[in-house]
Every structure is written in C-alpha cells, then in structure tokens.
Amino acid sequence: MKFETVIGLEIHAQLKTKTKIFCGCKTSFGDEPNTHSCPVCQGLPGALPVLNREVVKKAIRAGLATNHTIRKESVFARKNYFYPDLPKGYQISQFELPICEKGYLDIVADGNKKRVGITRIHLEEDAGKLIHDQDIDSLFDANRCGTPLIEIVSEPDMRSSEEAYQYLTGLKKILQYLDVCDCNMEEGSLRCDANVSIRPFGETKLGTKAELKNMNSFSNVKKAIDYEVERQTELIENGKIVVQQTFLWDANKNITIAMRSKESSDDYRYFPDPDLTTLIVTDKMIDEQKDTLPELPKDKEKRFSEQYSLDNDAIAVLTETIEIADYYEKTAKLCGNAKSASGWILTDILKILKEKQCELGELKTTSEKLAEIIKLVQTDKISASAGKKILAAVEETGKEPQTLVEELGLSQVSDSGELKTIMEKIFSENPAEVERFKSGDNKLTSFFVGQAMKESKGKANPKEINRIIGELINS
Ligand code: ADP
Ligand code: MG
Ligand code: ZN
C-alpha cells in the first residue's frame, strides 16, 4: 500500500527583547548561571507578572508578516506540569485565545508552489535550563526562565520532509527580516518540533502522529522526518499500529529515541492566569507594526529578479539577510553594474566572510569601496586580477582602492603610445614570429600578448594590446 506523509510543525522562536516577558530581568544568552533572575521568574509565591510591551509588538509583527488575523483580545493561560526547570509548576502561555490566528506561508518545494496554513501564533514564557553533564547532580539555571517565546503552530499541511524544510527556511528568513528573533538554532533561539503521521493515499482522516523533538538544525529536522516516516510505514506494513509518542532525535546515530507517551492538553489543566488581565491590542498598535514592516523576503526576491535580472541561486544568497541585500543594492547602484556587483559579492566577499568568520558589517570593504574597485576594473584602470589584489589590500588596510592602486603600482597601462613602444620592441626581437603571424598563424596573438604582459610586468591592458597588435601588423 502507498502511504501519504502528513507533517505539522510547532516552532518556538525566542523574541529578541532586552528583558524577559513578565519581569525586568535581562534575556542574555551564555551569562553566568542564575545572574538574571528575580522573584517573578523564579516563581516565588506572591510575585506578580507584568507583561513586557515589546513582546506584544514583536508577536504582532510576526503575525502580520505571516498573514495572520491579530486578535483584539487574547488571554494568558497557565499550562500546569511539574518539571525541575519550571519553578512555578506552570508555564504562562496562551491556549484558547492566542494573539494571532489563521495565517499562512507560501513555499516552493520540489518545484511546486504550495500554501501551508498556520493555525496560530501564541505568546509564552520559556522554562529554565537544567545542566546534566556535571560530575555532581543536575544543576539548574534560572537565566532562561521567563524568556519570551512565540510558538508558531502549523496546520498538518506538509506532505514531505522537503516541504517541511522549505517552510522552516521561509519562516526563519521572515523572522530574521523582522528582527523578531535571531534564529540561532545552536543557542536554542529557534526550536522545532515535528509532528509526523502517515495514512493511505485518499484517506481524509489523520493517522496517529509521533512528535519529534531535539533537532538542532533544519537538515536534522528533514532527516528525522524521513526516519520517522520509514518507521511508521514499516509498523503498518507489518500489521502493527503507531502509538502516539514523543521521540528525541539522536543526531549522532541518526535515529529517533522514544521519550514518553504524549500527554494531551487535558493533562495540563489549562486555565486563564488570574494574575494577568486580558491582553487588549488596539488598531493603533497593529497599524504601528504594519507601517514599519520591512520589505519581506518574497517581495525582495521578486524585485531582485525583475530589477537586476539575477538568477535564482544569486537571489537566494543576496536576499538571505537584509544586511547582504542592502550591501548588494548599494554596491550595484554605486558601481552602476548589477551583474558585476553580484559576481564580486557571491565569489569574493562571501569568501572573505568565510575566511574571517565575521559579519558583513565588520568588513573593511564597505559597499562604497567595493563599488570603487569594480569601477576601476570596468574602466580598465586596473586589470581584473589587479582588482582581486586591491580587494585583499582594502580588506587588510581599510585604505581607499585608488590609494592602493598607486601604492602597489597596479594601475593598468592603456596609454597607446606607451604600449606601441613596447610592442615595437617585441616585434623587432621576434622577427620569425612576426612573419608567421603575417602569413596567417593567428595563434601567435596570445604569444605577443604574453610577451607584452611580461614586458609591462602585468600592467598592460590586454584589450588595448590586442588592438595595437592588429594595427601594427596591418601597417
Ligand atoms: P497537541 O495537542 O498534541 O500538541 P495539536 O493538535 O496542538 O496537538 O497539534 C500540534 C501540531 O501537530 C500541529 O502543528 C498540527 O498541525 C500537527 N498535527 C496534528 N495532528 C497531526 C497528525 N495526525 N499528523 C501530523 N501532524 C499533526
Ligand atoms: Mg502541541
Ligand atoms: Zn526576573
């Protein structure tokens, strides 16, 4: 029997705010344990939460950019469970009335366009962190308690691991564009749980799902889904049934490990948090975010394709972040050649970024300086290979390209008088070659150009040399 894969994703994204969701503690990652905590986020009895306004703004932004309806009234609820990383014994989340509802994201997977429904985006707080890999007992760090999260819950609309991968990639790009989340999966600021089931093709009822957790990269999400689909298919083909369970992905062994049977929402005894009032969102708050949304990835990609005639691979890289897109557009505008700007960034600038392991903003080669180098090459002031040398020198010293051209003596000789003198010398030294050339052996052109380059120490403009060779031979 042939089975269809059904996938729904739950994504937790840490909001990029200075302070936590219900107290004034800092949200910094990697600091000394338990240095950012207070009675509220430690869950001391009687301490009262106060909602951080910035968190609401960011959730609205995320909702708008993914086509959601923003609820004018939403409610915080307590999700009750015991775990040592949760001092209060409950997590403040949203349940029945989340801040954003009914959104979607358009993706392209395996060449097909597809719309993935998003059920909701709700606000919640993160739990603390347990540190297990110590000699002594497990340790607890409260720094992460109360870190603001949005949970983005998709409809079970995806039909392959590739669709899940594209959905994740698309969502990540949007969240980064919005500056809502830094999406660093290693630091846990973006986490994804995948719900996976299978069913016979044609069946409309959903099959029993397994929940996959602990995947710290998108490629692991893909691998885990593929593994799970295979496991479920084998079970059903052997007359067994899939039980609802939660699995951890083991990235070293490439297998999933059963963790626990999945609890249902009834087990959490959700109820509205009496410490927090209904969250009221006004039209003004929504408009404020609408008015300040950046150009979103899909729009930018489309514009780059139309405005600069770039191919899809170039567009994917040049719109990866707003920073690289801005850097590209500025360079293209300043040098007046969109194609060259793209070429230089895709090869040379990316290489420098990789070598230096740094961000675009930290480069000494600003878009102004890169544009200057491109112009020097295009106007034949320097050769293409000299351009690469100048780029390396700019990145090293931060000096102006023109200054470096002079300092390094790399300016190209295009002066026809000077080049003619050089060529005449070469011709008089190589009379046999001149004869052969005159009788039609065109291969000798490259020989003469090579000689001219040698004579000029690489500074002769090859285009001009070619022209002069023709001129002299014909005269
Ligand atoms: P739970 O209460 O177990 O968390 P939800 O109904 O809230 O389940 O759904 C959680 C996620 O699982 C959603 O993204 C949803 O689309 C997805 N999902 C639900 N049922 C299935 C299924 N049978 N197969 C695959 N994904 C599913
Ligand atoms: Mg769930
Ligand atoms: Zn606190």
The DSSP annotation for 284-304 comes to HHHHHHHHTPPPPHHHHHHHH
pLDDT of residue 441: 84
Measured in Å, residue 16 CA sits from the centre of ligand 3 at: 16
Positions in the chain short of pLDDT 50: none
Residues 27-64 pLDDT 10s = 988 899 999 999 999 999 999 999 999 999 999 999 99
> CB of 125 within 8 A of CB of 275?
no
Residue with tokens 């919005």: 178
List residues near ligand 1 (CB under 6 A).
Answer: 6-10, 153-156, 195-197, 206-207, 209, 262, 265
pLDDT of residue 161: 97
Measured in Å, residue 209 CA sits from the centre of ligand 2 at: 11
Measured in Å, residue 245 CA sits from the centre of ligand 1 at: 12
- Which of 10, 160, 195 should be mutated for ligand 1, with most atoms under 8 A from CB? 195
Instruction: Return d(Cα 158, Cα 167) in angstroms, integer.
Output: 9
Q: Please name which ligand lies nearest the alpha carbon of 194.
A: 1
> CB of 303 within 8 A of CB of 338?
no
Q: Which helix (H) or strand (E) holds 8?
A: strand 3-14
Of ligand 1's listed atoms, the one at least distance from the Cα of 157 is 16
Measured in Å, residue 313 CA sits from the centre of ligand 1 at: 34
pLDDT of residue 218: 93
Residues 220-276 pLDDT 10s = 999 999 999 999 999 999 999 999 999 999 988 989 898 877 667 678 999 999 999
pLDDT of residue 87: 94
Collapsing DSSP states into helix, strand and coil, what is residue 190?
A: strand
Residue with tokens 């049977």: 261
Q: Which residue CA neighbors atom 13 of ligand 1 most closely?
A: 8
Instruction: Return d(Cα 430, Cα 445) in angstroms, integer.
Output: 13
The tokens describing 444, both together, are 């000798």
Measured in Å, residue 293 CA sits from the centre of ligand 2 at: 29
- E strands of 99-243, at which residues? 100-109, 112-125, 129-131, 139-141, 148-154, 190-200, 210-215
> CB of 390 within 8 A of CB of 411?
no
Measured in Å, residue 263 CA sits from the centre of ligand 2 at: 9
Of ligand 1's listed atoms, the one at least distance from the Cα of 196 is 25
Of ligand 1's listed atoms, the one at least distance from the Cα of 206 is 23
Instruction: Return d(Cα 27, Cα 50) in angstroms, integer.
Output: 16
pLDDT of residue 394: 96
Q: Please name which ligand lies nearest the alpha carbon of 246.
A: 1
Of ligand 1's listed atoms, the one at least distance from the Cα of 207 is 23
- What pTM was computed for the model? 0.86
Measured in Å, residue 58 CA sits from the centre of ligand 3 at: 20
Residue 374 C-beta-side C-alpha neighbours within 13 Å = 26
| Dihedral of alpha carbons 37, 43, 47, 49, sign | positive
pLDDT of residue 291: 97
Q: Please name which ligand lies nearest the alpha carbon of 10.
A: 1
b/e for 161-177, b at 16 or more Cβ within 10 A?
bbbbbbbbebbbbbbbb
Q: Which residue CA neighbors atom 14 of ligand 1 most closely?
A: 8
Angle among Cα 110, 115, 119 to the nearest 5 degrees reads 130
End-to-end CA distance of the chain: 82
Q: Please name which ligand lies nearest the alpha carbon of 146.
A: 3
pLDDT of residue 434: 87
pLDDT of residue 104: 98
pLDDT of residue 437: 86
Q: Which residue CA neighbors atom 22 of ligand 1 most closely?
A: 209
Closest C-alpha to 410, from 373, 363, 365: 373
> CA of 298: how far to CAs of 16, 105, 107, 314, 375, in Å?
22, 10, 10, 14, 31
pLDDT of residue 263: 66
Q: Which residue CA neighbors atom 3 of ligand 1 most closely?
A: 264
Instruction: Return d(Cα 401, Cα 390) in angstroms, integer.
Output: 6
Label the pairing between strands 112-125 and 210-215. Answer: unpaired
Q: At what angle do helices 384-397 and 367-378 cross, to 10 degrees?
A: 160
Q: Please name which ligand lies nearest the alpha carbon of 199.
A: 1
Of ligand 1's listed atoms, the one at least distance from the Cα of 208 is 23
Measured in Å, residue 25 CA sits from the centre of ligand 3 at: 4
* Count of other CB atoms within 10 angstroms of residue 264: 7
Measured in Å, residue 90 CA sits from the centre of ligand 3 at: 16
Instruction: List phi, psi (to 5°) of 90.
Output: -155, 155
pLDDT of residue 389: 92
- Which of 158, 196, 209 should be mutated for ligand 1, with most atoms under 8 A from CB? 209
Q: Please name which ligand lies nearest the alpha carbon of 262.
A: 1
Collapsing DSSP states into helix, strand and coil, what is residue 15?
A: coil
Residues 181-233 pLDDT 10s = 999 988 889 999 999 999 999 999 999 999 999 888 999 999 999 999 999 99
pLDDT of residue 60: 98
Measured in Å, residue 12 CA sits from the centre of ligand 3 at: 20
> CB of 15 within 8 A of CB of 180?
yes
